[in-house]
Structure 1
């Protein structure tokens, strides 16, 4: 029989309690520089123990040494970027469209989040235009190389959604083909909202009209003569477009319904220019110099003089408790900002050290890299590295890139310890297919043999999967397409 009745038991358990200070530190780490700056401004107004630091001295830079070496035999990687780091860790749209004036603005989210989970807090913040575009890019492009290029294009957008830099310039910076950048850019111009990534107002309006299936020859002629529209030269417009006055009036009305600055609003926010958190440049001796961008570093100090004065004048227990609470909050914020800066710099330096071949030779030379690699090297948890690389950008000789795009999975090599980036292998598969002739179209098995001859241990099903992700037809269909012009 089982006896029923009250009983007193002792149980020992372990539980992680996230204090408000710990929650604040975690949120600071994963927030962008704009969000951190907004939060610091609020704290300066709210906490009398904090004051703005007037000094503009930059944080200590990090020198990343990359030894000279010969290119390796494999065309996938080109070289081995492994080398030591010597670091002194510091503790510390101009649119041109006269018809459409631009506007700028910013919004700071509330940081009053005690008692709520991080997931709840993150879910309440409206996503920015760049986050929406990044999500669309992940869905539109299966090739990591294409995603990296798309990320670079997103970073180059100005507040109006314009991208006036030529495809050739971008391709040269990233070390890839101009045709690849042009194709990705053309596809991204159809993202929501349509008309982004265009060089000027004419192209922006043309993309939106094409999306509405209204870009006929008459409308194209109107777009080619926007200066006449601005001068209200109706007679010249009628002649240029070859339409009557009624049709011209309707065409102008259609254009006025379009969005001349599709990047100027998303979820009620203005598209902000990407400001890199880390600056990178190459020194004459071949090393890379990394330093935190002083423009993104909130500089605050604890006003201990004010605290001493206020403490002397405090008469009640409540006043002294208030001063102690504000002093503790100020100290914690300063330490959290210093730790955030140091962690970003350390993670960025390790990424640069491991991906040095990319900075020398371009996208096709990304090395395999996962969060655990960086975390183990720096003695951090993977979740910390994940937070650091989210919404953080680095200005490099190949453009401004988000830190998380340097991570790519690995494919084992046939020569033992050497491994290859999955993105580099996809890039190589694309190169092999592009070099095909009608008489020599490579099957998936033939591609496997080519890659294994280059030291890549890859299965046929993996090649087929990568080929499908690259939207490359089968060898039978490719051969049929190559022979079609000769028929």
Structure 2
């Protein structure tokens, strides 16, 4: 077979990710603090960019909508006025997408619906080595353990709030009754979640004071004897070095007291200090939600976190007219194109965040109204399909973006929970609501004849429209630390 050189012409289709689109996608996933740093760098690099220091109302055709109002059965039309609603039954799929038409102004639109279909991650390559060498923070370490904890969606929501309330030393800086009231759940649930979190590494984390921190570590060492507990109850005497009073309180001699004090000194009063820390910075919400009249929820962008940039047209006209060489003309043209694209990208970023946040609020209005136990099953695909975007785009929008609600501030990813199918083919059930039903059935058991086996619970749930497997019931029951039906019968007989 002869070898030779030849020319071939082939035709094909492919998605080309331009540098400008890469920049727009990168902006989409930045937090407001990271975005501010990025914009500062662009202001220093590009002489045609300037901050908009004026305090005027932007033109509605060019600026992102700053609020959406809707209730459970209402969703805004992108082509309508910001405060005009249409009913969900009358809306078409395009209208349910909250109005892409507004974003398609000539030359200024970015097609987010296909931006993620070619695979993500290319915009992260510059910082790949930095992420590998970055020291893990305490919060990241706790979230890693939370991802494998067997908790319900509602319990995961509570756990996320508690983790965010842990300081650098590992102590919980959160009032449990206030957290329960804010999340709309019972105090026993919060206390149960806290007990689970206190089993995380490092030992002693989630303690509310020094005594509890040391107690958690002693419990792991199986050293909680009466004398040691008495010592923990009198730490103020230890701080004063009043050994006589300590010996009397603990009921031990000098040698035993010295050994007990040595054991305490070997413990870690600040378990979180072993992890890398970052300078604490206040989290500013990207979106705020407030309750209006007639069950409406008002969703608004936080304009304080949005960079306000403009292209200095006068300076561009002056320097472009003074350009003499081709190199100077190319530089001015590149700066002008880059400035225009950045302004349009920031505008589209704001619109996309508002669109995704509005759909999340529409889906999770039950949580806002009634609390954490009313979180609905939600995933990225549901939101992406509703607003006509790609899942990867929604994923980028929900990363490092925060929403201020009447129940507190939450990351947008907080609102995504798993689901369980309905046996009647209707709307799926939240995993948390199913767990709650299982717990109610078991709590109602009064005698050994009332005890339900896992199979019996499956049958009862199917009668209420929940399609669930026996092994799932067993998994949920074990996650709630509820013993088997055999053990529950024995416990009821013993207490009878």
Tell me, yes or no, whether TM beats 0.5.
yes
Query: CA distance change for structure 1 residues 329 and 151 in 2, over 3 Å: closer, same or farther?
Result: same
The 8 Å contact of residues 97 and 387 in structure 2, kept in 1 or not, is answered as no
17-26 or 179-188, larger mean C-alpha shift: 17-26
Alignment pair present for 1:170 and 2:179: yes
Report if the CA contact (8 A) 1:354-1:367 is conserved: yes
| Contact map agreement 1:156 1:274 (CA 8 A) in 2 | no
Q: Shift of the alpha carbon at 1:180?
A: 1.9
Quote the Cα distance in structure 1 between the aligned partners of 2:382 and 2:398: 14
Between 391-400 and 151-160, report the one with greater CA deviation. Answer: 151-160
Query: 2: CA distance between counterparts of 1:231 and 1:56?
Result: 59
| TM-score relative to the length of structure 1 | 0.77
Contact 1:152 1:400 in 2 (8 A): no
1:184-235 per-residue CA deviation (whole Å, 9 max, x = no partner) reads: 1122234334444333444345445545656666665565556666677777
- The 10-residue stretch of structure 1 (456-465 or 251-260) with the greater mean CA deviation from structure 2: 251-260
Secondary structure of the residue aligned to 2:295 is coil
- Whole-Å separation in 2 of the counterparts to 1:401 and 1:132: 19
Which residue of structure 2 aligns with residue 474 of structure 1?
A: 484
Shift of 1:26: 1.9
- Counterpart CA distance in 2 for 1:391 and 1:321 is 37
How far apart, in 1, do the equivalents of 2:28 and 2:408 lie? 23
Of 117-126 and 136-145, more deviation after overlay is shown by: 117-126
| Deviation readout 1:315-346 (Å, 9 max, x if unpaired) | 43333333333333333233222222221111
Aligned match of 1:104:
none
Q: Contact 1:368 / 1:422 at 8 angstroms: preserved in 2?
A: yes
Q: What are the Cα deviations for residues 232-290 of structure 1, in whole angstroms up to 9, with x where unaligned? A: 77777677667788887887777677665555674342455544322111113321111
CA distance in 2, matches of 1:448, 1:13: 53
Residue-pair matches, total: 450
In structure 1, distance between residues paired with 2:97 and 2:389: 19
> Which residues of structure 1 form unaligned runs of 5+?
69-80, 92-114
Q: Which segment drifts farther, 158-167 or 9-18?
A: 158-167
For residues 455 and 15 of structure 1, do their structure 2 counterparts lie closer, same or farther at Cα, with a shift above 3 Å needed?
Answer: same
Residue equivalent to 1:31: 30
Look up the match of 2:437. Answer: 428
Query: RMSD of the alignment, in Å?
Result: 3.9
What does residue 111 of structure 2 align with?
none
Partner residue in 2 for 1:318: 327
**CA positional deviation for 1:423:** 3.1
Do the aligned partners of residues 462 and 21 (structure 1) sit closer, same or farther apart at CA in structure 2, a change above 3 Å counting? same
Task: Pick which of 435-444 and 115-124 moved more.
Answer: 115-124
CA contact (8 A) 1:155 1:273 kept: no
Cα displacement (A) at 1:349: 0.9
Q: Does 1:405 align with 2:411?
A: no
| TM-score under structure 2 length normalisation | 0.76
Contact 2:169 2:271 (C-alpha < 8 Å) held by counterparts: yes
SS at 1:139 equivalent:
coil
Moved more, 333-342 or 293-302: 293-302
1:389 matches 2:398: yes
